[in-house]
Structure formats: C-alpha cells, structure tokens
C-alpha cells in the first residue's frame, strides 16, 4: 500500500528498495499471510509458533496518534513564539528562513525516512515558525480568520478519519491512481502559476477571483483525500508489526498533510473575506 502524501509517497514498509530503513527486518508479505522474515531478537516465522514481535516494540495506531499530537504541540508552541516574539522588521527573514530550512529538512526526513524524534520535532518547530508568521499576516488582514482555519482543518481531518474508519472511502488501486493524477495536476498548475506570475502573467489561480476559489477548493479536496491513503499506510504498518520508532515517520507524514490543508483553507477563507 503506497501513499500519495508527499512524505509517504511510497510504501515505507517494503524492504525491496536499497534505501529503505526497513530492509532486512521485515518481509514484504502482509501479516495476514502468516510469514515474516526473521530479524535478530524481533521476528520469526509465525507458522512455527514463535512470537511475531515484542508487543512493546511494535507501532500501534494509538502510538501514531500520540506522536502526531506531540508534533502538533511543537508546531503550536513554535507558532505562538514566532507570532509574539519576532518583530515586524525580522518577519521576512524568519518567514523565508523557515521556508527554506523546512523544505530542506522535510526532504531529508522524507527521502532518508528518518525516525529520529529530535529531527522530526525540529521540523515541526520550523513549520511552527513559518505558520506563525503566515497566520499573523492573515490575521492582521482578516481578524478571526486563523481560528476559523484551524477549526476547518481539524474538522476536515476528523471527517476523513471517520470516512476511512467506516470504509466509506477506501484506498483502492483505482483511488490511488486517481489521487496521484490529481496531485500531479495540482502541483503542475501551482508551479506554472508561480513561474508565469514572475513574468507578469496571471492565470487567476491565486488572485482571489472565482477561478482562484474553485482552485483552492480542489486543492483542499485533494489534500483531504491524501489522508485516506496515509491512514491505509499506517494501518498496513501496524498489521505488519513494524518497530515503534517508525511511528515518528508516519506522524511526520500526517503533519505535512495537515500543514498543507491548513494553508489552503486559510487562503480560501481570505478569498471569501475580501
């Protein structure tokens, strides 16, 4: 099961890629097929009556939830400090500095599949600084917009979690292909709009007009649907009995989706307030 989340963009539980940190520890066979490749002190073939893994060392859904809440707490604290302590003169430096550092750190964590909680919490802190500055700008322009965006973000996330739990939306192969195509289309349009804007060409995707509102709704929809794929990846990892520390990587992927969703909702609300 792969994910279309920019972080969980491939199956992190597979061992057939040389760069995968799970290599040599887990079989690519699903747990329900009853076979795991043995790793020292952890796994043995279930058909021989040996324990699959120490229960305390396996990732659980509750563990991923707690790690995600921890990262959100770091974002909240860093965002509050950024909002209150950084003077307007230094705001551009903080904004673009956090943007650059967050991009580099996020790519490293994603492609190296880092499970170190210090590195991942550092990323959350940087994102908090970035969101603090962006949120402050929007709040000054449209009072009350930030709390509305926060409520909207968690409402959408909770809704997608419910849709996944009750299997109303499933991460089927057809769904995965459709979602992948939608994400590629959104990213291409964003890149084209940004590049053309530098040359004075306005595609109308971010100017607050009717087309911009429709585009933001599409982005919100795509961002929300990526959680379905992420939930499936986490569920698959739990079923395979991956080590508990990989819950940090799963939580990191969910955090990336939440940040994207929040920014898109914030942008949409600003259009509607104009």
pLDDT at 24: 40
Label residue 84 exposed, middle or buried (CB < 10 Å: 0-12, 13-18, 19+).
Answer: exposed
Q: Are 267 and 87 in contact (CB under 8 A)?
A: no
Q: What is the pLDDT of residue 74?
A: 98
pLDDT, residue 20, reads 42
Please give the backbone phi and psi of residue 212, each rounded to the nearest 5 degrees, phi first: -65, -40
Q: Which residues of 109-121 are buried (b: 16+ CB within 10 A; e: fewer)?
A: bbeebbbebebbb
Output the CA angle 49-50-53, nearest 5 degrees.
Answer: 135
Give yes or no for a contact between 44 and 32, defined as CB atoms under 8 angstroms apart.
Answer: no
**Cα separation, 181 vs 175, whole angstroms:** 10
The per-residue pLDDT for 21 is: 43
Structure tokens belonging to residue 172: 């089927």
What is the domain partition of the chain in residue ranges?
A: 10-53, 54-273
pLDDT in the model for residue 146: 97
Cα–Cα distance list, 141 to 178, 193, 266, 273 (Å): 37, 23, 12, 10
Question: The whole model's pTM is what?
Answer: 0.82
pLDDT in tens for each of the 274 residues of the chain? 545 455 555 566 654 333 344 444 443 333 333 333 334 444 334 444 444 445 678 999 999 999 999 999 999 999 999 999 999 999 999 999 999 999 999 999 999 999 999 999 999 999 999 999 999 999 999 999 999 999 999 999 999 999 999 999 999 999 989 999 999 999 999 999 989 988 989 899 999 999 999 999 999 999 999 999 999 989 999 999 999 999 999 999 999 999 999 999 999 999 999 8
Q: What pLDDT score was predicted for residue 9? A: 53
- Check: CB of residue 5 under 8 Å from CB of residue 229: yes
Task: Please calculate the CA angle 113-247-152 and round it to the nearest 5 degrees.
Answer: 100
Distances (CA, A) of 140 to 133, 143, 262, 273: 11, 6, 17, 13
């Amino acid at each position: 099961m792969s994910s279309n989340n920019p972080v969980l963009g491939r199956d992190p539980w597979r061992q057939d890629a040389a760069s995968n940190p799970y290599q040599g520890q887990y079989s690519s066979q699903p747990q329900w097929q009853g076979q795991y490749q043995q790793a020292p002190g952890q796994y043995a073939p279930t058909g021989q009556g040996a324990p699959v893994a120490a229960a305390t060392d396996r990732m659980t859904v509750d563990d991923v939830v707690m790690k995600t809440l921890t990262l959100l707490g770091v974002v909240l604290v860093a965002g509050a400090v950024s909002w209150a302590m950084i003077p307007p003169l230094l705001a551009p430096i903080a904004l673009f500095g956090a943007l650059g550092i967050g991009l580099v750190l996020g790519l490293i964590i994603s492609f190296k599949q880092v499970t170190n909680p210090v590195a991942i919490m550092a990323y959350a802190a940087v994102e908090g600084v970035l969101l603090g500055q962006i949120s402050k700008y929007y709040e000054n322009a449209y009072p009350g917009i930030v709390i509305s965006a926060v409520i909207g973000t968690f409402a959408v996330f909770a809704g997608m979690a419910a849709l996944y739990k009750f299997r109303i939306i499933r991460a089927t192969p057809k769904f995965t292909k459709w979602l992948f195509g939608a994400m590629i289309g959104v990213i291409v349009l964003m890149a084209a709009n940004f590049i053309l804007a530098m040359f004075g060409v306005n595609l109308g995707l971010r100017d607050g007009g009717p087309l911009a509102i429709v585009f933001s709704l599409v982005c919100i929809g795509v961002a929300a649907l990526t959680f379905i794929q992420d939930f499936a990846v986490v569920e698959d990892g739990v079923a395979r009995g991956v080590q508990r520390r990989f819950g940090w990587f799963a939580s990191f992927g969910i955090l990336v989706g939440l940040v994207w969703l929040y920014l898109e909702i914030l942008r949409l609300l600003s259009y509607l307030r104009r």
